[in-house]
Structure 1
Amino acid sequence: MLVLRPVQLTDLPQLQRLARESLVGVTSLPDDSERLRDKILDSCTSFEQNVQNPGPENYFFVLEDLTNRSLIGCSEILATAGFDEPFYSLRNRHFNSASRELNIEHGVPALSLCQDLSGHTLLRGFHIDGAWTGTAASELLSRARLLFIAAHAQRFCGTVITEIVGYSSDEGHSPFWDAVGKHFFDLPYVEAERLCGLESRAFLAELMPQYPIYVPMLPQAAQDCIGRIHPDGQEAFDILQREGFETNHYVDLFDGGPTLLARTGNIRSIAQSQTTQASPGAFIDARGRYLVSNDSLENFRVIIAELDYLPGKPVTLDAAMCAALKVTEGRQVRLIAL
């Protein structure tokens, strides 16, 4: 059985293995033991705090295979992007120019450095072991975060965003970075992303051009990367799109990958999830497959379960499900159809 839970310090060795395997561009998962240790401790503190309004908290989750106690994935929620430091992105909109004398009006797409997306909750750090991609485990890893937001709404903002990793080649070559960022840092794309993970993306962003970058002046290969998803990021994109997230006018300032955005109350797993009471039992006449969470804070757990659930009625969970969720008779659980 797979269970998603908050990260623990004892997860550090396995978490570093996941970091080594993660996609270039997932800068919130650096391959550095000290940085990962700090992230784990920061997450533990966030879960322990009595929070009534969203702040700088970071909630870090891991997906564990209980059969062999191995970690197969991880994901995060940053309660407020831009709370502790500026959250930069590129705004992709038309710059309009006009001449009354010539009766000409023309719009040119331009990229502008901005902090427009500060003040939103940010989903980040999604990574799953390659052997589990394309399975229900990916849904669990991504959507379980949304069930946590549903259970603890006061900790999060009214809008949720996420950045999907943009295109780069198997060799780590990013046409967008080469056409834009590399001129200001003289660093390869992979090295720039590594520095972002170890330090801060803000210090690199602040060296980016402060004036609009006119898209038609970029090489065609770079233009083609604007809003383009890395093939290994397509699954993460598709899951959240099914949840109601939509693309917008913002792209990542390093690789040009798209940003997804949704109003918190409109997200499927938040708006349509239902709560009921757990009823331990030995027999389940399964009629559907669900994500099930326990709505706890520090002991938050989510699993996938085959259940017979009727809205308004307690749901029967077998002993293994109850143990994985850490629930007993009468405890509240939250469900959403898989």
Structure 2
Amino acid sequence: MLVLRPVELTDLPQLQRLARESLVGVTSLPDDAERLRQRVLDSCASFEKDVEDHGPENYFFVLEDLTCQRLVGCSEILATAGYNEPFYSLRNRHYTSASRELNIEHDVPTLSLCHDLSGHTLLRGFHIDAEWVRSPFSELLSRARLLFIGAHSSRFANTVITEIVGFSNDEGGSPFWDAVGKHFFDLPYAEAEKLCGLNSRTFLAELMPHYPIYLPMLPETARDCVGRIHPDGQEAFDILEREGFDTCQYVDLFDGGPTLQARLCDIRSIAQSHIATVKTGSSIDARGRYLVSNDLLKGYRAIVAELDVNPGQPVVLDARMRAALNVSEGSRIRLITL
């Protein structure tokens, strides 16, 4: 059985393996032992904190195969993007120029450096081992974060965003970065992303152009990257799109990948999940597949389970499910269909 839970310091060696295998562009999962250790410690402290509003907390989750005690994925929630420093992105919008004398009006697409998205809650760090891609456990790894937000909404902003990794080629190069960022910071795309993961995007953003970038002046290969998803990032995009996230006008600073955005009240796993109590049992007449979480804070757990769910009635969980969720008869759980 696979279970999603908060990260622990003892997970660090396995996290380093996940970081090495993660896609270039997942900067919140740096392949650096000390940075990962600090990320884990910050997460542990966040789960311990008694907070009434969203602040700098980050909530780091891992997906563990209980049979072999192996981590097969991880994901994260940053309660407030841009809390300690601006959260930079590129605003993609049209600039209108006009000549009354010639009776000509022309719209030109531009990208402008901004930190409009500071203050929103950020989903980041999604990575799952290849054998579990396009499985219900990808849904668990991504959507259980949303169930957690639903259970502890006061800890998060009213709007949630995420950046989907943009296109890069088989050699790890980004046509968008080569056409834009590389001129202002003489580093290959992969090295720039690594630096961002080890430090922050602020010092890189400060060297980027602070005036609009006119897209028609960029090479076609770079223009084609704006809003384009890396093939390995498509699943993360699809899951959140089904959750009610929409592509907005912002793109990633480095590779031009799309940004998704949704209000809490519009997110399916928050708006449509329901609360039930646990009933112990050993035999389940399963009628559907569900994501199930226990609604706790530092003891948070979530699984995929085949269940028989009837509104207003307790839900039967077998011993294996109860152990994975750390619940017992009468415990409160949250459910949403897959």
Alpha-carbon offset, residue 100 of structure 1: 1.4
| 1:205 paired to 2:205 | yes
Alignment partner, residue 139 of structure 2:
139
Is 1:185 aligned with 2:185? Answer: yes
| 1:260 shift after superposition | 0.3
| Deviations, residues 307-337 of structure 1 (Å, cap 9, x unaligned) | 0000110000000000000001111000000
SS at match of 1:90: strand
Q: How does 1:16-35 map to 2 (within 5 A)?
A: 16-35=16-35
Give the whole-Å Cα distance in 2 for the aligned partners of 1:216 and 1:274.
Answer: 49
Query: How far apart in 1 are the matches of 2:34 and 2:311?
Result: 46
Alignment of 1:68-217 (within 5 A): 68-217=68-217
The whole-number CA distance in structure 2 between the counterparts of 1:78 and 1:265 is: 19
**What residue is the counterpart of 2:267 in the other structure?**
267
Quote how far apart the aligned CAs of 1:255 are.
Answer: 0.1
Q: Which residue of 1 aligns with 2:307?
A: 307
Return 5+ residue gaps in structure 1 as ranges: none
Aligned to 1:245: 245
- The match for 2:219 is 219
- Report the Cα offset of residue 305 of structure 1: 0.4
Q: d(CA) in 2 for partners of 1:221 and 1:241? A: 26
Rounded Cα–Cα distance in structure 1 between residues aligned with 2:334 and 2:145: 13
Mapped partners of 1:225, 1:126: distance in 2: 21
- CA apart distance, 1:131: 1.1
The letter of the residue matching 2:245 is F
Give CA deviations for 1:224-264 in whole Å, capped at 9, x if unaligned. Answer: 00000000000000000000001011000100000000011
SS at match of 2:167: coil
Task: Please state how far the C-alpha of 1:280 moved relative to its aligned partner.
Answer: 1.1
Secondary structure of residue in 1 paired with 2:75: strand
Alpha-carbon distance, 1:169 to partner: 0.7
After superposition, residues 26-65 of structure 1 pair within 5 angstroms as 26-65=26-65
1:279 deviation in Å?
Answer: 0.7
Give runs of aligned pairs for residues 273-284 of structure 1, distance below 5 A: 273-284=273-284
Opposite residue 147 of structure 1, the aligned amino acid is: L
Task: Give the C-alpha shift of residue 93 in structure 1.
Answer: 0.3
Distance in 2, matches of 1:171 and 1:45, equals 38
Give the secondary-structure state (helix, strand or coil) at the position aligned to 1:24.
coil
Q: What do residues 113-139 of structure 1 show as CA deviations (whole Å, max 9, x unaligned)?
A: 000101100000000001111111100
Q: Distance in 2 between matches of 1:135 and 1:326?
A: 24
SS of corresponding position for 2:236: helix
Q: Which amino acid aligns with 2:20?
A: R
Deviation at 1:103, TM superposition (A): 1.4
Question: Shift of residue 166 of structure 1?
Answer: 0.1
The residue type paired with residue 223 of structure 2 is Q
Q: Distance in 2 between matches of 1:6 and 1:14?
A: 14
- Give the distance between the partners of 2:203 and 2:173, measured in 1 at CA: 22
**Paired residue type of 2:215:** V
The one-letter amino acid of 1:154's match is: S
Partner of 1:157: helix, strand, or coil?
A: coil
Amino acid aligned to 1:104? I
Q: Which segment is superposed worse, 129-138 or 27-36?
A: 129-138
What is the TM-score of this pair, normalised by structure 1?
1.00
How far apart, CA to CA, are the structure 2 residues paired with 1:85 and 1:127? 25
Which whole-Å deviations, capped at 9, do the CAs of 1:196-216 have from their partners, x for residues lacking one?
Answer: 010111110111000000000
- Greater mean alpha carbon deviation, residues 121-130 or residues 92-101: 92-101
Name the CA distance, whole Å, in 1 between partners of 2:170 and 2:139.
25
Structure 1: distance between partners of 2:48 and 2:258:
33
**1:101 CA displacement:** 1.6
Give the aligned partner of residue 4 of structure 1. 4
Q: Secondary structure at the match of 1:52?
A: coil
Partner of 1:328: 328
| Separation in structure 2 between the aligned mates of residue 265 and residue 294 of structure 1, nearest angstrom | 21
Shift of 1:105: 1.0
Structure 2: gaps spanning 5 or more residues? none
* 1:318 matched residue in structure 2: 318
CA distance in 1, matches of 2:335, 2:96: 48
User: Which SS does the other structure have where 1:45 is aligned?
Assistant: helix
Give the structure 2 partner of residue 229 of structure 1: 229
Deviations 1:148-187 (Å, cap 9, x if unpaired)?
Answer: 0000000000000000000001110100000000000110
Tell me the distance in 1 between the aligned counterparts of 2:36 and 2:265. Answer: 32
Distance across 2 between alignment mates of 1:233 and 1:140: 16
